[in-house]
A and B are shown apart, each in its own frame.
Chain A
Amino acid sequence: MENSLDPAASLLEVRGISKSFGAVRALQEVDFTLRAGEIHALLGENGAGKSTLIKVVTGVFPRDAGIVRLGGEEVAPRSAKAALQAGIATVYQEVNLLPNLSVAQNLFLDRQPMRFGIVREGEMRRRAKTLLADFGLDIDVSAPLGNYSVAIQHVTAIARAVDLSARVLILDEPTASLDRHEVEILFRIMRQLAKRGIGIVFVSHFLDQVYEISDRITVLRNGRLVDERETASLSRLELIRMMLGRELAETTSARASAGAQTTREVCASFEGYGKAGYVAPFNLELRHGEVVGLAGLLGSGRTETARLVFGAERADRGQARVEGAPVRLQSPRDGVRHGFGYCPEERKTDGIVAELTVRENIVLALQAKRGLHRPLSRREQDEIASRYVKMLDIRPPDPERPVGLLSGGNQQKVLLARWLATSPRLLVLDEPTRGIDVGAHAEIIRLIRELCDDGLALLVISSELDEIVTYSDRVVVLRDRAHVEELAGEAIDVGSILAAIAADGASVAHEGRA
């Protein structure tokens, strides 16, 4: 595979691609051009057709019409393997690799170093170590991948694709579960690859990242090509207009006004709450009508705190109270019984039931809370489902569609709807806006504020500090699995959160085994 270094040469040409799933026209005559050595962002709302385009180009889905040329020659791969052999390496949006295999096997699956028909384990591990070292990871590569955190699994998936040294590298939302630090490493590597003449397609909902890394941008809307532009000459407002087909409604920070009333009633409190080897004991008060943000690096104990609060993990010390009365939170069921809701970070593994419809997924938690002897009538279900489909703008707006067929971001919205439907007193949201497009992102933040005004207590984890600053009344900063600082009111800004995260600077270490 030779690399052409001519910057203007188009490496991958996609012409007139169409794809329908039954009545849903996911792609209509889409063109896309990737040059050698460029980083090309593929953008669009949730459900715009980005992942579908990638899967059609790489042969995972058969296409209805159109052609694909790679280096001038027409290609029509019929499986991911064939696309790989043709020189297109892809990290698909939903890929979490294989948790039962070792990290090294995952990196080298189907291309292990061999001698006499036998896999050279030692050599494979050595190469795996070097490969991951490039990404700043130093982990035991012979342990099963499932032992590691989502972020490490994701880095492994990216490292695998990068190492395939294909001519085209496609990354579908690679940064969704990565930390700033890992994103920087990834970007450095992407730039190196681009310099070698590899064409990179990058899908993301983080516009900052898009402006930081991409040379050109292609925008899709409702399965159609909107335009292809140079990043440098495209303003952010214009980009958002291209994506949404309308202006973005202004989100104003509602915090200032809410901050006035300080004597809110305590909804739930945790005193000296913790678990050995999990999260150091902490004190936390969650009040009605208040958003508490949890900030910190990956592995700093944010998700762990959320799970303790909800009861998904048992604390071994401390006292929890709900509305002042002592309670024991031993299981998620206890959490639900006390009116808590928890929207976990990993929708694929932790929440969505792909085969069930949008409606069934939405009423799931509510039904569980009511108990099986009090089934919701079909009318009630329909009513709840259509209310949330509308409220969160779930697309396509069809409550009877199996959730597995929705785009990634829309699945996330369904999960959020499930917990909102239980009308909890305390809602824990772990990365609620991950993988959600700019339009819906603003909607969700507005929704969070509204819920609060209705008296809900919220505990929100987010890696996006801007976002946390926008809606939080108080921010708890975590480091090394301990709560290290609590900021309130005026003191909340990105700078002070960063300062708290990085205090005693040194330990921006990686999360090892989660």
Chain B
Amino acid sequence: MKGLPPVLITAIVLVAGFALCAVQFPNIASTRVVGNLLTDNAFLGIVATGMTFVVISGGIDLSVGSVIGFTTVFVALAIERWGMPPLVAFVAILALSAAFGAAMGAVIHVFDLPPFIVTLAGMFLARGASFLLSTESVPITAPIYSTVSDFALRLPGGGRLTAVAIIMLAIVIGGALLLQLTRFGANVYALGGSRATASLMGVAVGRMTVKIYMLSSLLAGIAGIVFSFYTSAGYSLSAVGVELDTIAAVVIGGTLLTGGQGSAIGTFLGVLIQGMIQTYINFDGTLSSWWTKIATGVLLFAFIALQQGLVALARRPVAKRAGAVS
């Protein structure tokens, strides 16, 4: 259930890719570059951790990109126009996004609707709401923003581990522990195995579904705040399509899209791989940044093929499988 082999493969791809990059551009292998990579991808790492829970439980959450966008706009307006203290604004938006996720989870469970549809509606809803708040980019000038942006742990070799990177690492580790060590985590895997069976075994499936989507949206909210730190602005068009990058990271990290298997650490490695490709392209300087997407696409294909292979292999020795036709 820990999905170790796929994670190992992701780790190998990451290390090998990084080594290749380092051969071409020796500067890449520095704490400075790695530190930046973590900072640049902090919001992605956070939201992908939430997505991991959702995907392992057999669902999907397409609304996360929009929730990030909404969060940045809400935070910017709350602080700059409505005069809220930043911390109050953060608490308010986190409560709001958690409630949003809980509502999606409840709808999925109560009306027995596919998560794809419900969260697709959530995606339009959240994006629409952020346009309603403001269509233009709202710069944030609150002092806390510069304080947080300036804060960083110095790494040997001149790198900086920024506050947002630290938040992301904490969330990844927290997510991994929650998934592997707690009852909640075990139930997430159980839901991914089979909702019906989990329910017959006494798992409170409805409550779990609500909690899982709540967690995903809550982390999307945190990712939104982190994103606003990163850009010092709120913009309704920010983070468009991030849900897809997130799902890509989850899959590259070895989580089965059909649910039941996967890990938070794998997802983190998936995020790093995407960041690494981006970094490589930046270093090269001549390549279009769209190559990131192409490389991600190729990797996705490779990983999905690999997982299918592994699944087939895992089934082989089970001598009890289908003999039915077609």
Interface set of A (CB-CB < 8 Å, partner B): 60, 79-81, 84, 90, 92, 95-102, 105-106, 109-110, 112, 114, 117-119, 121, 144, 146-147, 149-150, 160, 278, 303-304, 306-307, 310, 312-313, 332-333, 336, 342, 344-346, 349-351, 364-365, 368-369, 513-514
Q: Assess the A79–B199 pair: CB atoms within 8 A.
A: yes
Contact A100 B261 (CB under 8 A): yes
Complex: how many Å from CA A109 to CA B187? 7
Q: Is the CB of B183 within 8 A of A110?
A: yes
B324 — which chain A residues lie within 8 A by C-beta? 332, 342, 344, 350-351, 365
- For A344, the chain B residues whose CB sits under 8 A away are 322-324
Q: A310, B326: Cβ atoms under 8 Å? A: no
- Contact partner of B189 (CB less than 8 A), chosen from A84, A101, A118, A514, is A101
Report how far A100 CA is from B259 CA in the complex, Å. 10
Closest to A513 in B: B317
Pairs A–B under 8 Å by Cβ, sample size 16? A79-B199, A80-B199, A81-B203, A81-B204, A99-B193, A100-B1, A102-B1, A105-B189, A109-B187, A144-B1, A160-B201, A303-B319, A307-B323, A344-B322, A351-B322, A514-B319
- The reply to whether A84 and B202 form a contact with Cβ atoms under 8 Å apart is yes
Q: Once the chains bind, are B193 and A101 in contact (CB under 8 Å)?
A: yes
Shortest Cβ distance from residue B311 to the other chain A in the assembled complex, whole angstroms: 11
A306 to B320, CA, bound (A): 11
9 nearest A-B residue pairs (beta carbon): A98-B193, A312-B323, A100-B260, A81-B202, A100-B193, A368-B325, A342-B323, A84-B202, A344-B323
B81 within 8 A of partner (CB): no
Chain B hits for A364, CB < 8 A: 325-326
A247 to B198, CA, bound (A): 41
Q: Complex formed: what's the CA distance from A342 to B187 in Å?
A: 36
**B182 CB-CB contact with A under 8 Å:** yes
Q: Is B194 an interface residue (CB 8 A)?
A: yes
- The answer to whether A109 and B322 have CB atoms under 8 Å apart is no
Determine whether B313 belongs to the interface, using a CB cutoff of 8 Å to chain A. Answer: no
Given contacts A97-B201, A101-B190, whether A307 and B325 have CB atoms under 8 Å apart is no
Contacts of A81 in B (CB 8 A): 199, 202-204
The answer to whether B182 and A117 have CB atoms under 8 Å apart is yes
User: Are the C-beta atoms of B326 and A368 separated by less than 8 Å?
Assistant: yes
Residues of B within 8 A of A (CB): 1, 181-183, 186-187, 189-190, 192-194, 197-204, 260-261, 314, 317-326
Query: In the docked arrangement, what's the CA distance between A342 and B204, Å?
Result: 38
Contact present for B182 and A119 (CB under 8 Å)? yes
Q: How far is the CB of B201 from chain A (nearest CB, A)?
A: 6
Question: What 17 new A-B contacts, CB under 8 Å, besides A513-B317, A514-B317?
Answer: A81-B204, A96-B197, A98-B194, A98-B201, A100-B193, A100-B261, A109-B186, A109-B187, A150-B320, A312-B321, A333-B325, A333-B326, A349-B320, A350-B320, A364-B326, A368-B325, A369-B325
Q: How far is the CA of A454 from the CA of B198 in the complex (A)?
A: 46
> A369 vs B318: C-alpha distance in the bound complex, in angstroms?
26
Residues of B with C-beta under 8 A to A350 = 320-324
Q: CA–CA, A60 to B201, complex, Å?
A: 11
Known: A79-B204, A278-B319, A350-B322. A119 touches B181 (CB 8 A): yes
Residues of B near A98 (CB, < 8 A) are: 189-190, 193-194, 197-198, 201, 260
Is A101's CB under 8 angstroms from B182's CB? Answer: no
B190 near A109 (CB under 8 angstroms)? yes
Closest residue on chain A to residue B206 by CB atoms: A79
The answer to whether A312 and B187 have CB atoms under 8 Å apart is: no
- Asked whether A147 lies within 8 Å of B183 as measured between CB atoms, the reply is no
